[in-house]
Amino acid sequence: MARVYNFSAGPSTLPEKVLQTAAAEMMDYHGSGQSVMEMSHRSKWFDDIIKDAEKLMRELYQVPDNYKVLFLQGGASAQFSAIPLNFMNGSGKADYIITGQWAKKAFQEAQKYGDVKAVASSADKTFSYIPKTKAEDFRDDVDYVYICMNNTIYGTVYKELPPVGDKVLIADVSSCALSEPLDISKFGVVYFGAQKNVAPAGLVVAIIREDLLGNARDITPVMMNYKVQADADSLYNTPPCWTIYICKLVLDWIKEEFGSLEAMKAHNEKKAAILYNFLDSSKLFKGTVVPEDRSLMNVPFVTGDEELDAKFVKAATEAGFVNIKGHRTVGGMRASIYNAMPIEGVEKLVEFMKKFEEENA
């Protein structure tokens, strides 16, 4: 069996241990005589799975007791609508920071529902940095401020949160979920689509401060009403059972392999440094993001020559480093090195890049 190193931005590589456990439990999950794909979402087996997933999520993220952890569907993109519908319910105003395509899509969707302002943007330099904001940049009476924490396409991340004071901060953390600790108490809501770092596609996790629930607009589709989902313990309808099960196995893996998100972060820093150090010393390849805002998860880079970029992507694919082509809006390459990418994968990629550099200098 030959497994490739998969640098896809999402859906992305999963821990081999998780895939092996899922395979071993495929025909008969814990004596149930069924696969998790087949069983009732009201069964005791699935009840244990979703409860364990929530418990592990709370433990790893140290989620305060006054927050709900919800397992939802519709992808991160469905939350672009659900967030204004549920939370833009006081002044009807919200401030967004535009750090890339996902933030922009969320902003555009929210505009359907109220007075939405883009308070800062890094569009002027192809989103290669995180724009600085000051407390005065935010309107006093907004219902919330919205950010995209890690910008999957462009490879930037917030190292420090914007100075929103006691305004409600909502963050899309899809592409950095569980990669490092987060002080959940600083947010009203954090949410993440699972297919980047947590599970296969089909699941979104939302962690929501309880006092924000219960004021959704009347027109809110019931499936997007976070209060309805919270009251039903994420079982208002049939949840994505299989994906929640894999999420639980990934959380087990983080806990067993690393113990905490501090340790997960140290591992990710070590791994990312191998690639960034090479990019900083290379004569051929260079990173596209300002050093202070570099993501630990998504690393875009270019040679400066589109033909050479294409040659590299082709050669890398043939050598088993797949899905390394950059997003069409940035060009070049992007290596997504999520939690499940082993250090060895990045070391081998760098070896390959060195060889390519020597041959193409």
Nearer to ligand PLP by C-beta: 9 or 39?
Answer: 9
H/E stretch holding 314: helix 306-318
Query: To the nearest whole angstrom, how small is the minimum distance from the Cβ of residue 25 to ligand PLP?
Result: 26
| Cβ-contact 31, 15 below 8 angstroms | no
* Minimum distance of ligand PLP from residue 10's CB (angstroms): 5
Closest to ligand PLP by CB, 39 or 299:
299
Give least dist CB 326 to ligand PLP, A. 14
Can residue 77 be called a binding residue for ligand PLP (CB under 6 A)?
yes
Q: Per-residue x/- marks for ligand PLP, 216-235, CB under 6 A?
A: --------------------
From 68, 95, 143, 172, active-site residue:
172
List 5, 6, 7, 10, residue binding ligand PLP (CB under 6 A) = 10
Choosing from 68, 95, 167, 196, the catalytic residue is 196
Give the neighbor-by-neighbor strand order of the sheet with 204-209. Answer: 67-72, 204-209, 189-193, 169-172, 144-148, 93-98, 115-121
Give the interface size with ligand PLP as a residue count (CB under 6 A).
12
Distance, first Cα to last Cα, the chain: 35
Does 172 contact ligand PLP by CB under 6 A? yes
Question: Closest approach of Cβ 112 to ligand PLP, in Å?
Answer: 17
Sites for ligand PLP among residues 85-104 (CB under 6 A)? 102
- Look up residue 182 and give its two tokens: 């987060």
> What residues pair up with 189 in beta bridges, in sequence order?
170, 208
Within residues 318-347, the interface with ligand PLP by CB under 6 A covers: none
Which residues have CB under 8 Å from 315's CB, separation 6+?
356
- Is residue 180 at the binding interface for ligand PLP, with CB under 6 A as the rule? no
Amino acid identity, residue 153? I
Q: Which tokens in the block code for residue 258?
A: 């690393």
Residue 104 CB, shortest distance to ligand PLP, in Å, is 11
Q: Strand pairing of 298-302 and 286-287? A: antiparallel
One of 148, 208, 254, 302 touching ligand PLP (CB under 6 A): 148
Nearest to residue 178, comparing CAs of 259, 61, 16, 8?
61
The reply to whether 183 belongs to the active site is no
| Residue 84 parent element (H or E) | helix 75-87
- Of 72-80, 91-99, 256-264, 336-344, the window that binds ligand PLP (rule: CB under 6 A) is 72-80
Binding residues for ligand PLP restricted to 187-216, rule: CB under 6 A: 193, 196
Decide if 196 is catalytic.
yes
**CA 273 to CA 2: how far, in whole Å?**
27
Please give the order of strands across the beta sheet that includes 298-302.
Answer: 286-287, 298-302, 333-336
Q: Whole-angstrom Cα distance, residue 194 to residue 192?
A: 6
The pair of structure tokens assigned to 110 is 């929210």
| Residue number with CB closer to ligand PLP (230 or 297) | 297
Q: Choose the stretch contacting ligand PLP; rule: CB under 6 A; options: 168-176, 180-188, 222-230, 235-243.
A: 168-176
Q: Does the protein bind ligand PLP through residue 8 (CB under 6 A)?
A: no
Of the candidate residues 6, 99, 128, 152, the single one contacting ligand PLP (CB under 6 A): 152
172 flagged as catalytic: yes
Contact 58, 114 (CB under 8 A): no
Identify the residue among 8, 19, 73, 75 touching ligand PLP (CB under 6 A): 75
Count the neighbouring beta carbons within 10 Å of the beta carbon of residue 264. 21
Give least dist CB 192 to ligand PLP, A: 8
**Kind and range of the H or E run holding 94:** strand 93-98
What is the 3-state composition of the chain as percent helix, strand, coil, each rounded to the nearest 5? 40, 15, 45
Identity of the residue, 174 or 268, whose beta carbon is nearer to ligand PLP in the bound complex: 174
Give residues in contact with ligand PLP (CB under 6 A). Answer: 10, 75-77, 102, 148, 152, 172, 174-175, 193, 196
The set of catalytic residues is 102, 172, 196
